[in-house]
């Protein structure tokens, strides 16, 4: 067997290999190179099994359970958070929130909170990670990680994770984190529960309970990863609570040697374009006005936008409002849109289906404006006004702020 078999699911039985090279031809990913025996690149191999089928001498075999058990060995330790930074190098809000939850989990498991920061060694981010509770900060720096390329970041993360074997890895379900976490989980052959709304530890088994809405929000599913490590979960921004930062806290910094790190090579960054669509500002706004299908007219949405400007509020919308062309898709709030936690959410013409309210669960106060008194939005609203938007808006706009 070659060197990959201990940590990789595709085995090469050298004593059976006749050196025909049919596996090389069969591989659609260019993952096999013929030396004396086939050499598998674990980063390129997708475990599709084409080479196994093509091999006339049964010299290749997929051995998933054995590999996964080995990765899952009993030595996994540490609640890790995959840190994400903003363009200015500061820590993203979701990273702080995940560190807050990691501290709660770590206390239950008597383990440490650790953070993995890829590509950046920004002092601000490192001291911030420590201040928010990371006891150990793993830095994975390399020239090819200066810009975010998902494939390269995933490989770097996997290299460090294989070395340190964390028990749990939490990732922000941001546009970056979603793709990255999926790649990391696939490379490590472990499970990943995306978009968790709650995390806990099972008192009996010590397993991470990964809780999220399922079947269109009709039930809450609790998912566990009993046989693989790390147990991976992604969490949307705004769902968990960050703990207070303590600048006096100092974390241990561990720089990982990635000198022999090989980047994917398939993807080259040609240009970076600044995203100005405004979706980010939604997450940072203290007041958000949600537009629903009940608003009906574009002109009414424009008037709501004028009112929002006066209030210093951002405007978002329901999926039905997006589908009706009233609101841009990147401003959709809910299960398949953004999760927000403003101080005040004003829902206008929104019925309040679970798929929408899943995105505003963290809002401190909710005001609902809807002529239908039986609309479910009133069940979650702190204040309700059962009038049509056409009647409410002129009165709201007349109020001096």
Binding region for ligand FAD (CB under 6 A): 216, 292-294, 318-321, 332-337, 349-351, 353, 355-356, 359, 369-372, 375, 388-390
Q: Which is nearer to ligand FAD, 164 or 333 (CB)?
A: 333
The 3-class secondary structure across the chain, one letter per residue, is CCHHHHCCCEEECHHHCCCCCHHHHHCCCCCEEECCCEEECCCCCCCCCHHHHHCCCCCEEECHHHHHHHHCCCCCCCEEEECCECCCCCECHHHHHHHHHHHHHHHHHCCCEEEEEECCCCHHHHHHHHHCCCCEEEEECCHHHCCCCHHHHHHHHHHHHHHHCCCEEEEECCHHHHHHHHHHHHHHCCCEEEEECEEEECCCCCCEEEEEEECCCCEEEEECCCCCCCEEEEECCCCCCCCCCCCCCCCEEEECCCCCCCCCCCCCCCCCCCCCCCHHHHHHCCEEEEECHHHCCHHHHHHHHHHHHHHCCEEEECHHHHHCCCCCHHHEECCCCECCCCCEEEEECCCCCHHHHCCCCCCCEEEEECCCCCCCHHHHCCEEECCCHHHHHHHHHHCCC
Q: How far is the CB of 89 from ligand FAD (least distance, A)?
A: 31
Q: Which is nearer to ligand FAD, 250 or 297 (CB)?
A: 297
Q: How far is the CB of 392 from ligand FAD (least distance, A)?
A: 7
Q: How far is the CB of 385 from ligand FAD (least distance, A)?
A: 10
Contact call for residues 203 and 265 (beta carbons, < 8 A)? no
Q: How far is the CB of 374 from ligand FAD (least distance, A)?
A: 9
CA distance 106 to 154: 24
Nearest Cα neighbor of 242 from 105, 345, 111, 95 is 95
Q: Which is nearer to ligand FAD, 258 or 392 (CB)?
A: 392
Q: How far is the CB of 391 from ligand FAD (least distance, A)?
A: 8
Q: Which is nearer to ligand FAD, 163 or 372 (CB)?
A: 372
Q: Which is nearer to ligand FAD, 243 or 296 (CB)?
A: 296
Beta bridge partners of 80: 114, 169
Q: Which is nearer to ligand FAD, 23 or 396 (CB)?
A: 396
Q: How far is the CB of 303 from ligand FAD (least distance, A)?
A: 13
Q: How far is the CB of 35 from ligand FAD (least distance, A)?
A: 49
| Antiparallel, parallel or unpaired: β 219-223 and 208-214 | antiparallel
Q: Which is nearer to ligand FAD, 285 or 355 (CB)?
A: 355
Q: How far is the CB of 282 from ligand FAD (least distance, A)?
A: 13
Q: Which is nearer to ligand FAD, 100 or 292 (CB)?
A: 292
Q: How far is the CB of 365 from ligand FAD (least distance, A)?
A: 19
Q: CA-CA distances (angstroms) from residue 186 to 114, 189, 190, 263, 284?
A: 22, 5, 7, 17, 32
Tokens of 85: 């930074």
Q: Which is nearer to ligand FAD, 131 or 389 (CB)?
A: 389
Q: Which is nearer to ligand FAD, 127 or 351 (CB)?
A: 351
Q: How far is the CB of 292 from ligand FAD (least distance, A)?
A: 3
């Amino acid at each position: 067997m070659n060197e990959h078999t201990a940590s990789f699911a595709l085995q090469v039985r050298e004593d059976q290999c006749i050196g025909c090279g049919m596996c090389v031809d069969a591989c659609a990913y260019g993952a096999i190179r013929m030396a004396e025996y086939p050499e598998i690149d674990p980063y390129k191999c997708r475990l599709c099994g084409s080479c196994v089928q093509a091999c006339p001498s049964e010299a290749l075999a997929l051995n998933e359970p054995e590999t996964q058990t080995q990765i899952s060995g009993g030595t996994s330790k540490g609640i890790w958070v995959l840190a994400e930074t903003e363009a200015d190098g500061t820590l993203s809000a979701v990273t702080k929130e995940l560190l807050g939850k990691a501290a709660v989990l770590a206390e239950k498991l008597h383990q440490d909170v650790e953070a993995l920061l890829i590509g950046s060694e920004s002092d601000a981010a490192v001291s911030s990670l420590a201040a928010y509770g990371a006891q150990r900060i793993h830095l994975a720096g390399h020239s090819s990680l200066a810009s975010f390329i998902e494939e390269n970041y995933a490989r770097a993360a996997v290299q460090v994770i294989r070395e340190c074997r964390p028990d749990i890895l939490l990732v922000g379900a941001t546009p970056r984190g979603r793709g990255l976490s999926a790649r990391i989980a696939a490379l490590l052959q472990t499970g990943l529960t995306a978009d968790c709304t709650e995390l806990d530890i099972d008192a009996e088994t010590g397993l991470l309970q990964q809780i999220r809405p399922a079947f269109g929000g009709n039930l809450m599913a609790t998912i566990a990863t009993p046989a693989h490590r790390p147990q991976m979960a992604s969490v949307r921004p705004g769902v968990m609570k960050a703990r207070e930062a303590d600048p006096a806290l100092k974390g241990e910094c561990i720089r990982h040697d990635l000198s022999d790190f090989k980047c994917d090579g398939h993807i080259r960054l040609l240009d970076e374009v600044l995203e100005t669509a405004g979706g980010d500002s939604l997450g940072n706004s203290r007041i958000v006005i949600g537009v629903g299908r009940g608003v009906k007219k574009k002109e009414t949405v424009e008037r709501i936008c004028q009112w929002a400007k006066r209030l210093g509020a951002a405007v978002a919308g329901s999926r039905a409002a997006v589908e009706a062309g009233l609101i841009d898709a990147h401003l959709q709030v809910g299960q398949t849109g953004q999760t927000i936690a403003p101080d005040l959410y004003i829902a206008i013409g929104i019925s309040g289906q679970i798929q929408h309210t899943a995105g505003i669960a963290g809002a401190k106060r909710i005001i609902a404006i809807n002529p239908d008194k039986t609309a479910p939005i009133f069940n979650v609203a702190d204040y309700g006004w059962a009038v049509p938007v056409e009647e409410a808006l002129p009165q709201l706009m007349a109020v001096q702020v």
